[in-house]
Amino acid sequence: MRVMSFYRTAIGKKVVVAVTGVVLFLFLILHMAGNLKVFAGPGVIDEYALHLRTIMEPIFGWAGVLWITRAVLLVCVVAHIVTVFLLIKQNKRARPQRYRRHHLQASTIAARLMQASGAVILIFVVLHILQFTTGDIQPAPVLFVEEDGHEMAEVYRNLHAAFSMWWVAAIYIFVMACICIHLYHGGWSFLQTLGLDNQDRNRGFRIWAWLLSFGLFVGFSSVPFCFWTGILPAPADHAADVSETH
């Protein structure tokens, strides 16, 4: 009951957005750490993908932990977006008539683009899952292998195939830029919303948010960039694959 009445207030909703945002932020850091394994060679990242499915397998079964994580993330994404929509509705009501030309002074570009960058990210996430997780959309062929009787994607190979196409890499890098500015504002904002910010720390927090979000941008973008430019090598049997599919 108390939680519901808390959620009904504007601040309650902001806190929900902030907390779910933090969870998603943390997930992105892990996601990026996993991605960077491509630089250790094709075998390593595929092994990592397998590992994700076998963590605590005796307790949770094949990919059990992965599914739990996915469920948590889904809840966070839904809560984040639904709450943001409710807030936008409230804010529209609070300012029914706009100024002839509102001269914004203090807000950052990142803050003003929160809704737009958020929308881009949402569309991207859907496409990204359809592409690399389920293989439903295939700008480049997505390959699956059998492990312990379960089907799973071949990570390195798929990445290489997709990002060798310049426009796929470009779209990914563009979206990563959107995520970067979304997280710059979000990364500082959640500290302010949760009341952790203050005058002495503000500068530090801003720098922190910038470093973190820019770090994520660099980390994430490096993968498509390096496949596209050929810095990351093709898988060993790459030539064979290509001839197979043709």
Partner 1 sequence: MRMILHIWRQSGPEDKGGFQRHELDGVEEDMSFLEMLDTLNERIIAAGDDPVTFDSDCREGICGACSCVINGRPHGPGHKSTTCQVRMRAFKDGDEIWIEPFRSGAFPIVKDLMVDRTAFDRIIEAGGYISAHSGPKPEPNASLVPHPVAEEAMDAAECIGCGACVASCPNGAAMLFTGAKVSHLGLLPQGQPERWKRARTMVAQMDAEGFGACTNYAECQDACPKGISIRFIGRMNRDFMKASLCEPDTRQGQLKAH
Residues in contact with partner 1 by the rule CB under 8 A? 2-3, 5-6, 8-15, 87, 90-91, 93-107, 111-112, 114, 185, 188-189, 191-200, 202
Q: Which two tokens stand for residue 37?
A: 């394994």
Whether the Cβ atoms of residue 212 and residue 185 lie closer than 8 Å to each other:
no
Q: Which is nearer to partner 1, 121 or 168 (CB)?
A: 121
What's the closest the beta carbon of residue 44 comes to partner 1, in angstroms? 40
What's the closest the beta carbon of residue 95 comes to partner 1, in angstroms? 4
Distance of CA 67 to the CA centre of its chain: 17
Give, as one character, the DSSP assignment of residue 133: I
What's the closest the beta carbon of residue 174 comes to partner 1, in angstroms? 24
Determine the Cα–Cα distance for residues 30 and 48; give it in Å rounded to an integer: 12
Whether the Cβ atoms of residue 214 and residue 147 lie closer than 8 Å to each other:
no
Q: Which is nearer to partner 1, 12 or 41 (CB)?
A: 12
Distance of CA 237 to the CA centre of its chain: 30
Q: Which is nearer to partner 1, 11 or 75 (CB)?
A: 11
What's the closest the beta carbon of residue 118 comes to partner 1, in angstroms? 11
Q: Which is nearer to partner 1, 92 or 246 (CB)?
A: 92
Determine the Cα–Cα distance for residues 10 and 41; give it in Å rounded to an integer: 48
Q: Which two tokens stand for residue 20?
A: 């779910």
Q: Which is nearer to partner 1, 68 or 88 (CB)?
A: 88
Q: Which two tokens stand for residue 218?
A: 């660099």
DSSP conformation letters of 195-209: T---HHHHHHHHHHH
Q: Which is nearer to partner 1, 199 or 243 (CB)?
A: 199
What's the closest the beta carbon of residue 216 comes to partner 1, in angstroms? 19
What's the closest the beta carbon of residue 198 comes to partner 1, in angstroms? 4
- Give the three-state DSSP class for 95: coil
- Give the three-state DSSP class for 145: strand
Give the number of other CB atoms < 10 A from CB of residue 129.
Answer: 13
Q: Which is nearer to partner 1, 169 or 209 (CB)?
A: 209
Distance of CA 220 to the CA centre of its chain: 9
What's the closest the beta carbon of residue 108 comes to partner 1, in angstroms? 8
